[in-house]
Amino acid sequence: MSYAIIGFGKIGQALAHAFARKNIEVTVASRRPPEALATQARAIGPTVVAKSLRDALEADTIILAVPFGEHREVAKALPNWKGKTVIDAMNAFPVPEELDGLPSSAFVAKSFTGARLVKGFNHLIAATLATDPVVTGGHRVVFLSGDDEDAIAPVADLAKQLGFAPVKLGKLNEGGALVHARGRSWGQLIFQDLFKKEQ
Ligand SMILES: NC(=O)c1ccc[n+]([C@@H]2O[C@H](COP(=O)([O-])OP(=O)(O)OC[C@H]3O[C@@H](n4cnc5c(N)ncnc54)[C@H](OP(=O)(O)O)[C@@H]3O)[C@@H](O)[C@H]2O)c1
């Protein structure tokens, strides 16, 4: 598997720290050229490599960490997303009217034609997400949801490799509703920093 984080702000860098901690290679990209991100990427760790957006999108698994409204710009960068898994770490808040009642990740999925979309890594503030998810006796929980059940398993594997305890919530408009905002209210699991005990 190859991984890219699109958006190298607070959440993108928090996730880059998680990859670096476990020596897992990850590409990072934004609208700026890779040279503009390289120093920060190197400072996080040697497995974090800045590339152009186009080169980063060659990864199999793409984590979206851009402002919600920018997802369409990222989607336009590839004519077809077939074979890719897109992990939506974005939050839409307050929820824009254009979503017309859809969970924000279902709305995002409409732009990434052919991709398998999983919502995840979106429920914690960046400063918390950046810290080591492995604590004495436990692992920090991340919630995963999506309408394609087969797509969730490899993302759960990635979360485990990064030291998190993945908790699957099911479909976006079922369990996934707990990690989506509705109007001006956050889903009940958003900002809940939970840990799962070692088995
Ligand atoms: N901050 C949090 O605590 C938090 C928590 C949970 C979820 N989130 C969600 O995570 C997402 C990112 O939030 P953030 O706080 O990390 O924002 P941020 O610090 O403003 O970073 C956004 C990043 O996206 C890049 N970007 C913007 N438009 C882009 C485009 N069209 N193509 C590629 N890159 C683009 C920006 O870089 P350039 O300007 O160089 O392109 C920047 O690196 C948001 O959807 C937010 O709702 C944030």
pTM for the whole structure: 0.98
Percent of the chain with pLDDT over 90: 97
Contact 60, 79 (CB under 8 A): no
Q: What is the dotted CATH code of the domain comprising 3-197?
A: 3.40.50.720
Residue in this structure with the two tokens 């990434």, named with its chain if needed: 112
Residue 92 Cβ inside 6 Å of ligand 1? The answer reads no
**Nearest-atom index, ligand 1, CA of 11:** 16
198 confidence band (pLDDT: 50, 70, 90): confident
> Residue 39 burial by CB count (10 A; 0-12/13-18/19+): exposed, middle or buried?
exposed
Distance of alpha carbon 171 from its chain centroid, rounded?
A: 16
Residue 77's Cβ-side half-sphere holds a number of Cα atoms within 13 Å equal to 17
- Tell me the C-alpha distance between 31 and 39, whole Å: 16
**Nearest-atom index, ligand 1, CA of 123:** 6
Tell me the best of 8, 10, 55 to mutate to test the pocket of ligand 1, counting ligand atoms within 8 Å of each CB and taking the most: 10
- Tell me the C-alpha distance between 133 and 196, whole Å: 10
> What is the SS3 assignment for 17?
helix
- Distance from residue 29's CA to the centre of ligand 1 (Å): 11
pLDDT value, residue 174: 97
- Distance from residue 69's CA to the centre of ligand 1 (Å): 10
**Nearest-atom index, ligand 1, CA of 32:** 40
Percent of the chain with pLDDT over 70: 100
- Distance from residue 12's CA to the centre of ligand 1 (Å): 7
Residue 72 Cβ inside 6 Å of ligand 1? The answer reads no
> 67 φ, ψ to 5°?
-55, 145
- pLDDT tens, residue by residue, 139-181: 999 999 999 999 999 999 999 999 999 999 999 999 999 999 9
Comparing C-alpha atoms, which of 129, 139, 95, 165 is closest to residue 5? 129
What residues does each domain of the chain span?
Answer: 3-197
- Tell me the C-alpha distance between 49 and 25, whole Å: 8
- pLDDT tens, residue by residue, 70-115: 999 999 999 999 999 999 999 999 999 999 999 999 999 999 999 9
Q: What is the mean pLDDT of the chain?
A: 97
